[in-house]
Structure 1
Amino acid sequence: MVHPVAVAGFLVAILPLIATPGASLALLVQYVTEGGRRRALPVVLGTVTGLYVHAALAAAGLSALVMHSSLAFTVVKLIGAVYLIGLGLWTWRTAAPTPRRSRPRRTDSVYAQALLANVLNPKAAAIYLTLVPQFVTPQHPLPGQILTLATAHALLITLWLTAWTFLILHATRVLRAPRCKRRAARATSAVLIALGVRSAVT
């Protein structure tokens, strides 16, 4: 069992990381702009699932293996970078220059994109290898403590993305204008490409 003070400290430590714009927020802006609030749920669920994947890997010690092997870490980082850049290029390509009828994206596709964007981000894994050890005690079973911190992390990022969803919906009339919609999609693609490039070179 993790002490409530430790959970609070962990949340304070990761809040700046959550507040930093990333792939999850970029995907949220894109899909909520296109399809409304119903598209926010698969983005949030995909992101949260990714957090639990990292937590499970940390509990099993697999993430530690990746982080301590420079080759494995580089491979994971490059895979994530290629995915983000590819997703960004695809988003740019689908921002049509003129309004046209498009088929709505399946919810499971949105979920998979958000999940992969989080799972393939080695910096997300680093949270559970650098910050989590500061807030657990070896006298108690680690898996339960990591699960508790991951759940707190998931709740905080859910609140953050939900708040952004309402902000996006508030501006939905402007954002859904064809010209603004294209600009929003291209801004999203630029963010994803930039995140991918940064992940590849750092």
Structure 2
Amino acid sequence: MSVHGAALLGFLVAVAPITTTPGASLTLVVSRVAAGGRRQGWWVILGTVTGLYVHATLAALGLAALVLASSRAFWTVKLLGVAYLVGLGLWLLWSAARRPGRGRPGDPRDVTASRVERRRLPRLPWRGHHPYLQGLLGNVLNPKAAAVYLTLAPQFLTPDRPVLAPMLLLATGHAALHTVWLAGWTVLSGAAATLLRTAAVRRLLDRLTGAVLVGLGVRSAVA
């Protein structure tokens, strides 16, 4: 299979509504930027983009097709994704319950708390609750993301040709679109970082983020 410029453009038009629909990645970007600045948002974006390449590679190799062909395997992946989203959402709700509700923008207590919280964040992408890992798992454990490369992407490939390189080309275009979308939210969230890092706003944001992630997990479970 091969892919041409017109096909790549058609694929991007097709995935644009999916990309710009608020979901786990956008929720994580806003939450992590509020917690630790724009750098946290870039890590989420990198993790999300890595997840897209994982799905594209698995689809090209036929492994993802095997998952969808087996209802048991599909439900295993689906439930893993649900568990991750719900678990992350509950963790944020628990963090919000422990966070004090007072504070003003620029309050020294908020600045000190923010610095302490940043020191507690894992430094390596593969450890703990690092934003890269959150972005990666949030995408890799999403069966809908896999379905994009199993059902939509093949419509823009030419039959009887090698599939891996064209599929990765489509993923690159998708990754660029995703990066632009999430980068815009990273910049906007970073511009409001001072307000977002006050104790009261952070607690409210953690509650909203946690509720959204739990809701996304429940929706995925019943879809």
For the aligned pair, the TM-score class normalised by the smaller chain equals: over 0.9
Query: Which of 148, 154, 167 pairs up with 1:133?
Result: 154
- 2:21 and 2:48 map into 1 onto residues whose CA distance is 15
1:142 aligned partner = 163
Give the Å deviation of 1:71.
1.3
The equivalent of 1:191 in structure 2 is: 212
Q: CA deviation at 1:171?
A: 2.2
How many Å apart are 1:178 and its aligned residue?
A: 1.4
AA of the residue aligned to 2:8 = V
Specify the SS of the correspondent of 1:137. Answer: coil
Offset, 1:163? 0.6
Q: In the alignment, does 2:176 pair up with 1:155?
A: yes
Contact 2:52 2:175 in 1 (8 A): yes
Unaligned runs of 5+ in 1: none
Q: Residue 103 of structure 1 aligns to which amino acid in structure 2?
A: E
Instruction: From 122, 132, 138, give the equivalent of 1:106.
Output: 122
d(CA) in 2 for partners of 1:134, 1:161: 26
Distance between the aligned counterparts of 2:71 and 2:172, measured in 1? 29
- Per-residue deviation at 1:173? 2.7
Q: What is the alpha-carbon distance in structure 1 between the residues aligned to residue 64 and residue 26 of structure 2? A: 24
Cα deviation, residue 97, structure 1: 3.2
Matches of 1:76 and 1:40, distance apart in 2: 26
Aligned-pair distance for 1:26? 0.8
Deviations 1:34-57 (Å, cap 9, x if unpaired)?
Answer: 111111121011001111110110
Partner of 1:97: 99
Larger Cα Rg: Structure 1 or Structure 2? Answer: 2
Q: 1:77 corresponds to which residue?
A: 78
Take 1:121 and 1:74, find their aligned partners in 2: how far apart are those partners?
11
Distance of 2:131 and 2:23 partners within structure 1: 16
Q: Could you tell me how far apart the structure 1 residues matched to 2:142 and 2:190 are?
A: 28
Length-normalised TM-score, structure 1 = 0.95
> Which secondary structure state, in structure 1, belongs to the residue aligned with residue 117 of structure 2?
coil
Alignment of 1:1-150 (within 5 A): 1-95=2-96, 96-98=98-100, 101=113, 102-104=116-118, 105-107=121-123, 108=125, 109-150=130-171
Question: Take 2:80 and 2:38, find their aligned partners in 1: how far apart are those partners?
Answer: 30
Amino acid at match of 2:71: S
Deviation at 1:141? 1.3
Cα deviation for residue 125 of structure 1 reads 0.1
Aligned residues: 202
